[in-house]
Amino acid sequence: MVNELLSCLEFIKFNHTEQGIRCLIINSAVKGTFCAGADLKERSQMTQTQTSQFVTKLRNLMNDIENLPIPTIAAINGYCLGGGMELSLACDFRVGVQNKDVELEKLPGYYGLVETALAIIPGAGGTQRLPRLIGVPKAKELIYTAKKINVQEAYEKYGILNDYGKPISQNGPIAVKMAKQSIQQGIQLDLANAMKTEELCYAQVIPTKDRIEGLTAFREKRKPVYKGE
């Protein structure tokens, strides 16, 4: 599955503009499970070198997801644990998805980084992305205790899951890409240099046809039609 995802991400990275791909949604076809993490039976047969190589590949996968130029959404339709949670953390948004077969509110231990219970640590970005998302104290609580939380806690107590209304795809695709780039790069910098990053990203949207379309549509009181140009 890891190799398939890497190939898919590479295709999207280099072809999203010409293919009209504005957003990536990652979901699971398995009822009641988004991703429950690594196969522990398989991991128990790995040598130390194989384990290290596998985790490195996972880490690279999560980095590739995070660095995609388009918005990414983890549509979590069931249990999301360990590496599955790390995958969701690499996305821009995490959304709990209901379906007729699974009621998320009734799933105990729905979400969590459970690695310390197995005498390891999250190795595919969990120790870095979770603190940046919810703050250091809460991240330490979840990681140190290997606590599994339910969907309500993920939404309300920890702020891990998102609840947003307006679809991203309705907005200017170049503007959304530049907003993501500005945020992703700027958060790694001091404020002065981050503002320069924002300035450079803003400069990319000024000459676009979409910007003119947005202004024209507003003036004409109609819905804009953005083409990513």
Among residues 144, 39, 48, 119, the alpha carbon closest in space to that of 84 is found at 39
- CATH fold of 171-220 reads Lyase 2-enoyl-coa Hydratase; Chain  A, domain 2 (1.10.12)
- The verdict on whether 115 is a catalytic residue reads yes
Task: Give the whole-number percent of the chain exceeding pLDDT 90.
Answer: 58
- CATH fold of 1-157 reads 2-enoyl-CoA Hydratase; Chain A, domain 1 (3.90.226)
pLDDT at 167: 79
Q: Per the residue annotation, which of 36, 74, 78, 86 is the catalytic one?
A: 86
Q: Per the residue annotation, which of 36, 37, 38, 123 is the catalytic one?
A: 38
> What is this structure's pTM?
0.85
Q: In what order do the strands lie in the sheet with 72-76?
A: 24-26, 72-76, 93-96
* Mean pLDDT across 122-149: 95
Q: HSE-up of 130 (CA within 13 Å, CB side)?
A: 27
| Band of pLDDT at residue 121, cut at 50, 70 and 90 | very high
Going from N- to C-terminal start, the domains of the chain cover 1-157, 171-220
Q: Is the dihedral of CA 40, 159, 176, 223 positive or negative?
A: positive
**15, pLDDT greater than 90:** no
- The verdict on whether 214 is a catalytic residue reads no
- The verdict on whether 86 is a catalytic residue reads yes
33-81 pLDDT per residue, tens: 888 877 778 878 888 998 889 889 999 999 999 999 999 999 988 889 9
